[in-house]
Amino acid sequence: MNLLQLVKQKVQDAFTKVGFPEAQTLVRLSDRPDISDYQSNGALPLAKTLRQPPREIAAKVASVLKEDPFFQAVTVDGPGFINLKISDNELGANAFRILSESHGGYERPDTPKKIVIDYGGPNIAKALHVGHLRPAVIGDSIKRLCRFVGDEVIGDVHLGDWGLPMGLLIAIIQERNPTLPFFDPNFKGEYPKEAPFTSKDLETLYPLASQRSKTDETFLNKAKECTRKLQEGDRGYRALWEHFIKISVSDIQKIYQELDVHFDLWWGESHVHDRLQQMIHRLQKDGTIISDNGAEIIPLGKSKNGNDLPPLIMVKSDGAVMYGATDLATIEERVDEFHPDYILYVVDARQGLHFEQVFSGAEKIGLAQKTHCEHLGFGTINGKDNKPFKTRDGGVMTLRMLIDLATQSARQKMESGEMGRDLSESEKDQISQIVGISALKFADLMNERMKNYIFDEDKLTGTEGKTGPYILYALVRMRSVLEKMGVSATIEENDLVTITHPTERQLLLRLYALPDSVQTAYDNRAPHVICDYLFKLAQDFNSFYHDCPIKTATPDIQKSRLALTKYALHIGLLMSDILGLKIPNKM
Ligand code: ARG
């Protein structure tokens, strides 16, 4: 039992003892840390059902709790809140049992869920850009969070590797290099193993082709023709397309690796092609899909807020299968392959309508009954003008540039002496990389998902305030305190904590609050809750470090303070791992 559960149990017993066994304890962390650690609001609803004054009920329960030496103070406040302050002794005595645990006292539910999480969403032949940071970082963190809670999670990158963009690329390459064997219908041999282009070539060719298709109809038609032939399985086109995938994916993986963001599956839209064809035939037959001006659509009913949803277009009048169609077939694939309880989509909030349509389509065809689909949207990263972030000359801000801005800013802070004063040049190079990326990730995760935020590299690499480096500093300090005192960070049974100062108490209580933060973050799919926790933990540790000398303390107190530091480090690392932050050895 963690501390919250222990308190709940005691309050429950007290309610039972005074004759209210059915009562809900409604115990939670206190809103008033100045007077209590936990509070129970259970007397309030009970008073309503029993038509008794809530303060009277609370007073009865409190009189039982007051007898228990576990509590240092029990008071009834306001309309009938029971405020509980735990004795210092008990706080210290439970530390080893609860805080050394591999999930920091978080008790995993007995029935873990199976979850497919769709995040990242990169597209073949397009460089990752600023819009790809959030789906990667938030998605990866929600995956880590669900795993922490005990769920079985499959992370799928869901590559954009199908459809017109691929046709556009093929068309422009064919126009420029018509003699390549990929385009020779009579070619029977093996296609070249080496791609006749680099990823840079693709990244320049794609925008050219896309631009051109907007004004040049012949070219557009050619691209559509290429798309159709690719999808129908043209041997040469498929071989060429495989080169697109190979070189793009290897580029994309490099950046995700740098961000320490990982996926279990590298499937893409193309993966459901055959399934989609069958699905379309089936739904045409049973009347779910109807023809509408040459397009094949699924009419949808009302949305959750009562508006009419536009129909889900499966196949356009020119024969192209649509984004919504591949998403629908992908739900079926995931249900068939993995039987997940949930499918989570970490995708830009601006795709909200798209997912509403897809999920509504899934309901129509009986898939939504087999799994829960949730769109976890997020806001945009804006520049200082509060408009979507661009380069200075208005161009696309690639993810590469964004990472470089953060790591270079961390490096500059080392030049100016704000951090890394004792590092060698090569350490500075290496550590600014770790710090810059953790800073970038933290700055992204700390915002409520749905809100937009303004990117400011100077601020996010700052060492003061709610930033990644502030958190890293605290964790690095915990490690170095132990190291300097020659103490291993491994927690041992005799790591007892004795409270001698309010900042020790405050820090210890923070450590016990991990389960609460994890649960709130999990229930709301909200990594920012973990960021809040870590920020407060860093603040509490810094106050403790400032107020409670270790080196000069008496041996008993010193040992207790070092133990507290170990617990803080353990809990801090668990939480920073949920965010996917890397901690440097020094900084
Ligand atoms: N590739 C898509 C885009 O760039 C994002 C994919 C999101 N996932 C999904 N299942 N639709 O917009």
Residue nearest atom 5 in ligand 1 by C-alpha distance: 121
Q: With 90 as the cut, is the pLDDT of residue 307 above it? A: no
Average pLDDT of the residues in 533-545: 98
* Closest ligand 1 atom number to CA of residue 351: 12
Tell how far the Cα of 122 is from the centroid of ligand 1, in angstroms: 7
* Closest ligand 1 atom number to CA of residue 123: 1
Tell how far the Cα of 147 is from the centroid of ligand 1, in angstroms: 23
Pocket test for ligand 1, best of 347, 353, 357 (most atoms within 8 A of CB): 347
Pocket test for ligand 1, best of 119, 164, 343, 345 (most atoms within 8 A of CB): 345
Tell how far the Cα of 15 is from the centroid of ligand 1, in angstroms: 52
Average pLDDT of the residues in 247-256: 96
Using alpha carbons, list the distances in angstroms from residue 437 to 430, 434, 553. 11, 5, 37
- Taking a C-beta distance cutoff of 8 angstroms, is the pair 367, 272 a contact? no
Which residue type does 40 have? S
What lies within 8 Å, CB to CB, of 52 at 6+ separation is 46
Looking at residue 417, what is its pLDDT?
94
453-454/381-382 β-pairing: parallel
* Closest ligand 1 atom number to CA of residue 330: 10
Q: Is the CB of 123 under 6 A from ligand 1?
A: yes
pLDDT confidence bin for 549, thresholds 50/70/90: very high
* Closest ligand 1 atom number to CA of residue 323: 11
Tell how far the Cα of 61 is from the centroid of ligand 1, in angstroms: 54
- Bridge partners, residue 382, by sequence: 388, 454
Looking at residue 206, what is its pLDDT?
94
DSSP structure class, residue 265: B
Q: Is the CB of 508 under 6 A from ligand 1?
A: no
Looking at residue 477, what is its pLDDT?
97
Give the Cα separation of 282 and 277 in Å (integer): 9
* Closest ligand 1 atom number to CA of residue 160: 1
Which residue type does 399 have? L
Single out the residue of 343, 330, 336, 326 nearest to residue 154, CA to CA.
343
- The label of the residue with tokens 């609001």 reads 41
Q: For 82-118, how does the pLDDT look when each residue is reduced to its tens digit (9 = 90+)? A: 999 999 999 999 999 999 999 999 999 999 999 999 9
6-10 long-range contacts, CB within 8 A, separation 24+: 6/70, 6/94, 7/38, 7/84, 7/86, 10/65, 10/68, 10/70
pLDDT confidence bin for 162, thresholds 50/70/90: very high
Looking at residue 318, what is its pLDDT?
82
Query: Residue 313: in which H helix or E strand, if any?
Result: strand 312-315
Tell how far the Cα of 347 is from the centroid of ligand 1, in angstroms: 7
Tell how far the Cα of 121 is from the centroid of ligand 1, in angstroms: 5
Q: For 322-350, how does the pLDDT look when each residue is reduced to its tens digit (9 = 90+)? A: 999 999 999 999 999 999 999 999 999 99
What lies within 8 Å, CB to CB, of 498 at 6+ separation is 92, 556, 557, 560
Single out the residue of 418, 444, 446 nearest to residue 432, CA to CA.
418
Tell how far the Cα of 483 is from the centroid of ligand 1, in angstroms: 46
Tell how far the Cα of 160 is from the centroid of ligand 1, in angstroms: 7
Q: Is the CB of 160 under 6 A from ligand 1?
A: yes
DSSP structure class, residue 126: S
DSSP structure class, residue 160: B
Q: Is the CB of 118 under 6 A from ligand 1?
A: yes
Residue nearest atom 8 in ligand 1 by C-alpha distance: 121
Q: What is the DSSP string of 178-237?
A: TTSGGG-TT--SPPPSS-SS-HHHHHHHHHHHHHHHHH-HHHHHHHHHHHHHHHHT-HHH
- The label of the residue with tokens 């169609």 reads 325
Q: Is the CB of 121 under 6 A from ligand 1?
A: yes
* Closest ligand 1 atom number to CA of residue 159: 1
Looking at residue 87, what is its pLDDT?
97
Residue nearest atom 3 in ligand 1 by C-alpha distance: 121
Looking at residue 306, what is its pLDDT?
84
Single out the residue of 116, 162, 105 nearest to residue 139, CA to CA.
116
* Closest ligand 1 atom number to CA of residue 348: 12
Tell how far the Cα of 137 is from the centroid of ligand 1, in angstroms: 15
Tokens of 198: 């680099």
pLDDT confidence bin for 493, thresholds 50/70/90: very high
Q: Is the CB of 347 under 6 A from ligand 1?
A: yes
* Closest ligand 1 atom number to CA of residue 354: 11
Residue nearest atom 6 in ligand 1 by C-alpha distance: 121
What lies within 8 Å, CB to CB, of 523 at 6+ separation is none
Tokens of 525: 């799919």
pLDDT confidence bin for 201, thresholds 50/70/90: very high
Residue nearest atom 10 in ligand 1 by C-alpha distance: 327
Q: Is the CB of 158 under 6 A from ligand 1?
A: yes
Q: For 31-62, how does the pLDDT look when each residue is reduced to its tens digit (9 = 90+)? A: 898 999 999 999 999 999 999 999 999 999 99
Single out the residue of 7, 15, 141 nearest to residue 515, CA to CA.
7
Looking at residue 213, what is its pLDDT?
96
Q: With 80 as the cut, is the pLDDT of residue 304 above it? A: no
To the nearest whole percent, how much of the chain has pLDDT over 70? 100
Q: Is the CB of 327 under 6 A from ligand 1?
A: yes
- Taking a C-beta distance cutoff of 8 angstroms, is the pair 46, 55 a contact? no
* Closest ligand 1 atom number to CA of residue 269: 10
Pocket test for ligand 1, best of 344, 351, 355, 399 (most atoms within 8 A of CB): 351
Give the Cα separation of 486 and 192 in Å (integer): 60
What stretches of 30-114 show up as alpha helix (H) in DSSP? 43-50, 54-66, 88-93, 95-99
Average pLDDT of the residues in 225-238: 93
Q: For 403-457, how does the pLDDT look when each residue is reduced to its tens digit (9 = 90+)? A: 999 999 999 999 999 999 999 999 999 999 999 999 999 999 999 999 999 999 9
Residue nearest atom 11 in ligand 1 by C-alpha distance: 327
To the nearest whole percent, how much of the chain has pLDDT over 90? 95
The most confident of 317-321, 383-387, 431-435, by mean pLDDT? 431-435
